[in-house]
């Protein structure tokens, strides 16, 4: 999963347990006051905490930089929550029907109120509140500053108080009576996405920007926390004892508690990280009402369950067990599905998530800890699947991608990739609006390119490419000229990079050329820094730059082929030997078979005359799909359950012929592995793996294997 703050990670689970407690009243049997003070007051920090986490991670970035990528992140988040809300509502439909919180005879108004504000099960209100609240705060952030957003959402919250814990007080004020009457008619209450969630979401958003300063004023933060906590407990006690509130979720001191508590949780570094905490806390939150219903029922027969503390513990235990079992089953089901799917595709790419994660880790552990990975996803992720690889890598914390063309970049954006994307190749200035709209980073490939882009008068982000000796793309490595580029209007230059021409060769001559390039690059960077230019980020090494020059230390490395689990040439010796696993395997089906007599020719041309009676099989994949036609019939083998099967005749556009004589019983639609060892295949075709991979066609089914 994404590298996340451990304190926040672990507190998610604690907060979920608090929510369960709120619905179980654990102290009721022996110390009811504790329920009033702790359960119904202190534990109320749980839900605001969840809202703040969303505000912090989702809206915080949007507040900091409003661009396509961060906007996309917010939209994706809302879409995901809509899906989750729909799913959990269906999950609870039986219980809601049983408890009559929803029925067919309900007036339309109540149904709408249920969908948008209250939900149909007591705890599910959280989802519409999150969706509505996020939309409101994102909208406000678009038009006004965060301070004003805080003011507006704070005001809504104050109004909300009057319909919640403070209803006993506000309800006695004549002037306010009509206001709350209408609020209740429209919204049914105030603990929702209008009056409650927006404030905590915007407080989370507000804190994101200030997270680097969480370490300051530690003492006063604790002081504020303790004072506000005491005030909160007194507030809860007084309101509940003397004012008979409608509800007990919204307190005046709660936002203050959260404002000081959140940074403390963020800076909490527990030794053990709870694995899958987001899944676990989500599961506990969503499922516990079912356990409550079950235990409630069981308590009628089993007396001891009427003890409130035991009731709470059993509910928690059962819920957690269900969550763990579901997560285990889900994992099993996925693997089963993949095995089944494999047998029914004409041609398929099978991607190994484990391999890509392994390769990333291998790279990360062998470069300087200061250096990050910019994953290269050009040519559809070297023929694999750029969106799938991107998704896996984003989950592992990769925050920068590179592609060759603007269309590849836009395709990634449309697939929900919100991270930074650098276009390595030339983009016509005619398409500058798309660069800006999709928040893409364009490489400046020459001075002319920079001039033409700047002349369009549209602000875009760029990296300068420097020609340090490859003589392909790049601006001359001249610090005065490059210093001028940094001052060009409309070009926001955030990085400077170059590309090594022969990092893969370790001959004396090649090493000299590479070292010359490195020197030129370093010299240039130093020179620009001397001129007080903020050069942005630096990156130089692609795969072979990493494995042959691992001691270099720039801000990013740009691995391509090694990320996909192989070297360009299987025989290459490298300084650093990484333990790489190939990410993709290509399969197809046996679609037909027949006996052909000795002396007959098979396939196109007359070259392949059979010298024995042969069972010929036809496999549904061809050179259009990327099986190189140059593969010679004598040394190209396909595999059925690990057994090699020789390919015969010429390779056709859509089919390959094989000699099935050794496995004549093979059934139609059996899966056949066509390209397994891409390194060997590249060698037999006199090319590099990069070419074989990037030429894989577009008629594949793509499947992910998690093993």
Residue 53 DSSP SS3: helix
Q: Which listed residue (181, 330, 575, 604) is catalytic?
A: 604
Active site residue 378: yes
Q: What are phi and psi of 575, to 5 degrees?
A: -65, -45
Given the structure tokens 């986490």, which residue do they identify?
53
- Residue sitting closest to ligand PLP (CB): 560
Residues 6+ apart with CB under 8 A from 487: none
Q: At closest approach, how far in Å is the CB of 444 from ligand PLP?
A: 13
- Per CB under 6 A, contacts with ligand PLP among 191-210 are none
**Strand pairing of 460-467 and 372-376?**
unpaired
Q: Which residues of 443-455 are buried (b: 16+ CB within 10 A; e: fewer)?
A: bbbebebbeebbe
Please say which residue, 24 or 567, places its beta carbon nearer to ligand PLP.
Answer: 567
Q: At closest approach, how far in Å is the CB of 466 from ligand PLP?
A: 11
What x-and-dash track marks residues 532-571 binding ligand PLP by CB under 6 A?
----------xx--------------xxxx----------
C-alpha torsion 153→154→160→162, nearest 10: -160
Please say which residue, 15 or 424, places its beta carbon nearer to ligand PLP.
Answer: 424
User: Which tokens hold the place of 271?
Assistant: 């030794």
Does residue 609 contact residue 599 with C-beta atoms inside 8 Å?
yes
Q: At closest approach, how far in Å is the CB of 562 from ligand PLP?
A: 6
Give the integer Cα–Cα distance in Å for 230 and 402. Answer: 52
Given the structure tokens 């603990």, which residue do they identify?
191
Does residue 373 contact residue 394 with C-beta atoms inside 8 Å?
no
Residue 376 DSSP SS3: strand
Q: How many other CB atoms sit within 10 Å of the CB of residue 515?
A: 11
- Per CB under 6 A, contacts with ligand PLP among 37-96 are none
Please say which residue, 555 or 633, places its beta carbon nearer to ligand PLP.
Answer: 555
Please say which residue, 376 or 616, places its beta carbon nearer to ligand PLP.
Answer: 376
Please say which residue, 130 or 567, places its beta carbon nearer to ligand PLP.
Answer: 567
For ligand PLP, which residue of 132, 690, 693, 696 counts as binding (CB under 6 A)?
690
Q: Which listed residue (73, 349, 378, 420) is catalytic?
A: 378
Please say which residue, 359 or 543, places its beta carbon nearer to ligand PLP.
Answer: 543
- Angle, alpha carbons 190-192-198 (nearest 5°): 110
Q: At closest approach, how far in Å is the CB of 367 from ligand PLP?
A: 13
Binding status of residue 499 toward ligand PLP by CB under 6 A: yes
- The 8-class DSSP code of residue 39 comes to I
Does residue 525 contact residue 538 with C-beta atoms inside 8 Å?
yes
- Per CB under 6 A, contacts with ligand PLP among 150-169 are none
Residues 6+ apart with CB under 8 A from 173: none
Please say which residue, 486 or 497, places its beta carbon nearer to ligand PLP.
Answer: 497
Please say which residue, 130 or 376, places its beta carbon nearer to ligand PLP.
Answer: 376
End-to-end CA, the chain: 16
Binding status of residue 525 toward ligand PLP by CB under 6 A: no
- Whole-angstrom CA distances from 226 to 18, 19, 204, 223, 257 are 19, 22, 20, 5, 8
- Per CB under 6 A, contacts with ligand PLP among 605-644 are none
Please say which residue, 160 or 545, places its beta carbon nearer to ligand PLP.
Answer: 545
User: Which tokens hold the place of 637?
Assistant: 């083998």
Does residue 469 contact residue 516 with C-beta atoms inside 8 Å?
yes
Q: At closest approach, how far in Å is the CB of 574 from ligand PLP?
A: 12
Q: What are phi and psi of 420, to 5 degrees?
A: -70, 140
**Strand pairing of 441-444 and 420-423?**
parallel
Q: At closest approach, how far in Å is the CB of 504 from ligand PLP?
A: 8
Please say which residue, 113 or 384, places its beta carbon nearer to ligand PLP.
Answer: 384
Q: At closest approach, how far in Å is the CB of 9 from ligand PLP?
A: 33
Q: Longest C-alpha distance within the chain, in Å?
A: 105
Does residue 1 contact residue 392 with C-beta atoms inside 8 Å?
no
Binding status of residue 498 toward ligand PLP by CB under 6 A: no
Active site residue 593: no
**Strand pairing of 491-497 and 671-675?**
unpaired
Q: At closest approach, how far in Å is the CB of 559 from ligand PLP?
A: 5
Give the integer Cα–Cα distance in Å for 538 and 372. Answer: 11
Q: At closest approach, how far in Å is the CB of 662 from ligand PLP?
A: 38
Q: How many residues bind ligand PLP (CB under 6 A)?
A: 11
Does residue 641 contact residue 705 with C-beta atoms inside 8 Å?
no
Q: What are phi and psi of 134, to 5 degrees?
A: -65, -40
What x-and-dash track marks residues 420-459 binding ligand PLP by CB under 6 A?
----x-----------------------------------
Residue 58 burial (10 A CB sphere; 0-12, 13-18, 19+): buried
Residue 30 DSSP SS3: coil
Q: At closest approach, how far in Å is the CB of 412 from ligand PLP?
A: 16
Give the integer Cα–Cα distance in Å for 233 and 121. Answer: 28
**Strand pairing of 400-403 and 420-423?**
parallel
Please say which residue, 442 or 690, places its beta carbon nearer to ligand PLP.
Answer: 690
Give the integer Cα–Cα distance in Å for 88 and 72. Answer: 24
Please say which residue, 60 or 560, places its beta carbon nearer to ligand PLP.
Answer: 560
- Per CB under 6 A, contacts with ligand PLP among 385-414 are none
Q: At closest approach, how far in Å is the CB of 143 from ligand PLP?
A: 40
Q: At closest approach, how far in Å is the CB of 117 from ligand PLP?
A: 51
- Per CB under 6 A, contacts with ligand PLP among 369-388 are 376, 378
Residues at the interface with ligand PLP (CB under 6 A): 376, 378, 424, 499, 542-543, 558-561, 690
Please give the positions annotated as active site: 378, 604
């Amino acid at each position: 999963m994404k590298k996340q703050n451990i304190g926040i990670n672990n507190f998610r689970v604690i907060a979920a347990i608090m929510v369960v407690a709120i619905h179980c009243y654990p102290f009721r049997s022996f110390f009811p006051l504790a329920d009033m003070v702790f359960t119904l007051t202190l534990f109320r920090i749980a839900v605001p905490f969840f809202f703040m986490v969303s505000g912090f991670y989702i809206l915080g970035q949007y507040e900091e930089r409003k661009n396509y990528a961060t906007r996309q992140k917010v939209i994706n988040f809302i879409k995901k929550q809509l899906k989750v809300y729909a799913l959990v509502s269906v999950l609870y439909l039986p219980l809601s029907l049983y408890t009559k919180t929803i029925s067919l005879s309900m007036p339309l108004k109540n149904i709408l109120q249920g969908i948008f504000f209250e939900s149909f099960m007591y705890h599910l209100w959280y989802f519409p509140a999150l969706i509505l609240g996020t939309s409101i705060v994102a909208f406000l952030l678009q038009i006004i500053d965060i301070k004003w957003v805080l003011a507006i959402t704070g005001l809504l919250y104050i109004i909300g108080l009057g319909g919640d814990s403070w209803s006993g007080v506000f309800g006695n004020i004549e002037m306010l009576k009509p206001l709350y009457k209408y609020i209740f008619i429209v919204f049914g209450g105030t603990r929702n996405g209008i009056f409650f969630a927006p404030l905590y979401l915007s407080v989370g958003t507000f804190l994101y920007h200030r997270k680097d300063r969480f370490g300051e004023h530690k003492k006063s933060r604790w002081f504020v926390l303790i004072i506000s906590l005491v005030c909160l407990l007194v507030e809860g006690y007084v309101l509940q004892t003397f004012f008979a509130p409608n509800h007990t979720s919204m307190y005046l001191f709660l936002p203050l508690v959260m404002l000081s508590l959140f940074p403390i949780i963020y800076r909490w570094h527990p030794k053990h990280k709870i694995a899958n905490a987001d899944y676990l806390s989500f599961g506990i939150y969503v499922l516990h009402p079912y356990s409550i219903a079950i235990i409630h029922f069981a308590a009628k027969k089993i007396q001891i369950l009427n003890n409130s503390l035991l009731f709470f513990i059993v509910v928690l235990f059962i819920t957690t067990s269900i969550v763990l079992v579901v997560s285990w089953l889900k994992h099993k089901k996925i693997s089963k599905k993949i095995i089944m799917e494999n047998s029914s595709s004409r041609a398929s790419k099978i991607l190994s998530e484990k391999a890509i994660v392994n390769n990333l880790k291998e790279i990360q552990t062998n470069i300087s800890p200061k250096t990050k990975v910019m994953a290269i996803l050009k040519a559809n992720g070297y023929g694999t699947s750029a969106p799938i690889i991107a998704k896996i890598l984003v989950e592992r914390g990769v925050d920068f991608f590179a592609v060759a063309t603007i269309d590849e970049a836009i395709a990634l954006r449309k697939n929900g990739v919100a991270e930074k994307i650098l276009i390595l190749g030339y983009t016509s200035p005619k398409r500058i609006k798309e660069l800006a709209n999709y928040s893409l980073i364009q490489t400046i490939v020459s001075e002319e390119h920079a001039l033409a882009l700047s002349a369009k008068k549209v602000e875009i982000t760029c990296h300068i490419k420097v020609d340090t000796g490859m003589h392909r793309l790049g601006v001359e490595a001249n610090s005065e000229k490059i210093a001028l580029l940094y001052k060009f209007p409309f070009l926001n230059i955030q990085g400077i990079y170059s590309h090594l021409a022969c990092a893969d060769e370790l001959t004396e001559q090649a090493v000299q050329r590479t070292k010359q390039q490195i020197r030129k690059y370093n010299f240039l960077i130093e020179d620009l820094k001397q001129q007080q230019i903020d050069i942005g980020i630096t990156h130089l090494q692609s795969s072979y730059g990493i494995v042959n020059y691992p001691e270099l230390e720039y801000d990013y490395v740009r691995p391509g082929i090694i990320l996909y689990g192989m070297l360009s040439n299987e025989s290459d010796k490298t300084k650093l030997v990484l333990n790489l696993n190939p990410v993709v395997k290509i399969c197809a089906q046996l679609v037909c078979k027949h006996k052909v007599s000795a002396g007959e020719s098979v396939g196109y041309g007359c070259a392949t005359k059979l010298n024995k009676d042969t069972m010929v099989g036809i496999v549904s994949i061809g050179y259009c799909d990327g099986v190189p036609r140059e593969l010679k019939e004598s040394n190209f083998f396909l595999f059925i359950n690990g057994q090699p099967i020789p390919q015969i005749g010429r390779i056709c556009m859509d089919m390959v012929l094989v000699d099935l004589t050794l496995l004549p019983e093979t059934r139609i639609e059996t899966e056949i592995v066509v390209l397994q060892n891409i390194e060997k295949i590249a060698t037999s075709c006199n090319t590099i793996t990069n070419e074989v991979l990037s030429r894989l066609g577009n008629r594949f089914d793509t499947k992910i294997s998690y093993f």
